[in-house]
Amino acid sequence: MRTLALVLLLALSGCVTPRMHSQTELNGIGQECGLALGELFQDESEKRLVFLFRPDASPQERSCVAKWARRNGLKAVFVNSVNFPAS
């Protein structure tokens, strides 16, 4: 019976939507990874993603963010460039 309960708990844990991390938490992780404040963020419309907005991010910075994201059930997205339309 305990084994069945454990199996069900593990199966259901895969269905849990990742939580939104506060910007303070993300800034702390970003600083641990060598990023500036605000370069790591989450969007409420897609809580499973964490964005690194730093076009010149080093492989070590990307790896640090990716490892943290994986440990927290998130997918790291690296924004390399942004093209704004001419007005």
List beta partners, residue 49: 75
When pLDDT is cut at 50, 70 and 90, the band that residue 17 belongs to is low
| Residue 68 CB neighbours (<10 A) | 19
pLDDT of 6 > 70? The answer is no
Domain ranges of the chain: 15-79
Q: What is the pLDDT of residues 43-85, one digit of tens each?
A: 999 999 999 999 889 999 999 999 999 999 999 999 887 777 7
pLDDT of 86 > 90? The answer is no
| Residue 47 CB neighbours (<10 A) | 15
pLDDT of 34 > 80? The answer is yes
